[in-house]
Amino acid sequence: MLAHELHKVLAGRGVVAYLARRGECDITDTDQLASIFERHRPSLLLNCAAHTGVDLCEDEPDRANSINGNGPANLARLCREYSAQLVHFSTDFVFNGQSDRPYRPDDAPDPISAYGRSKLLGEQAIQQTTHLSWLIIRTAWLFGRHGNCFPRIILNRARAGHGLSVVNDQLGCPTYAVDLAVAVFDLLDRGAKGIWHVTNSSPTTWFDFAKSIVTQFDVSTEVKPISTADWVALRPKQAKRPAYSVLDLGPVKTLLGRNMRDWHDALKDYRTEHEIC
């Protein structure tokens, strides 16, 4: 979802980039990575590889830690060796969801799921790598044209004639992959380093997000609100989600001189791209 959009932005800037496919670039395989670095000698590496199956991570935490924790550590060491800048993508899941205000980049992480803990391991590995130029971007609720995402799941179920029950007590901000990709390079252009939070603006719930999706795509289906507690009762083995995971966009607004646009506007563009596909 994100890698394609990053590649598109680079192409628009006239930059030739190597888009490493999953089958040819396993970030847990140090020998394979070393070979790729030696062949391409990157000046900038954008790591979009991750184990993002939040519920699955609960069943296979070692694999999650290997991909989301050890993988970024491997990349960090090689980026240092080749003097390449590393851009790594992390998540709102590194927080516990108990805040009463948007999470700032310097707030203390406290993940409540195996996925969140594995992503925090990756962040820490990068930060602990000395003499490395790095940028960690935390984002949330990512959606886009490529790959599976919440809008696609909602549309597929709605068009199949299924009613929808969607959680209405988890608050966050959807993020359009196109907007995230543009923001990444705007940040790099301005010399950003360290940890940044980037999402679209206007906090919402999954329920309101789902309602907006079916409305935007003119799909007639009933969307019912459900509490997290009721949802967990239906699927007791799922991972814990932060109830509140709104990320503070203040630093990004200050550096870029603009707000991240409202996710409602991004959803309209998503529909246009979806129809073109």
Structure token digits, residue 82: 């080749």
Burial code of 16-39, b = ≥16 C-beta within 10 A, e = fewer?
Answer: ebeebeeeeebbbeeeebeebbee
Q: Does residue 20 contact residue 36 with C-beta atoms inside 8 Å?
A: yes
Report DSSP letters for 147-187, one per residue.
S--HHHHHHHHHHTT--EEEE-S-EE--EEHHHHHHHHHHH
From the list 103, 115, 176, 270, the catalytic residue is 115
CB atoms under 10 Å from CB of 276, counted, come to 7
- 176 catalytic? Reply is no
Q: Which two tokens stand for residue 202?
A: 């206007």
CA distances from 151 to 25, 215, 236 (A): 28, 11, 24
3-state secondary structure 67-96: HHHHHHHHHHHHHHHCCCEEEEEEEHHHCC
- Catalytic residue set: 115
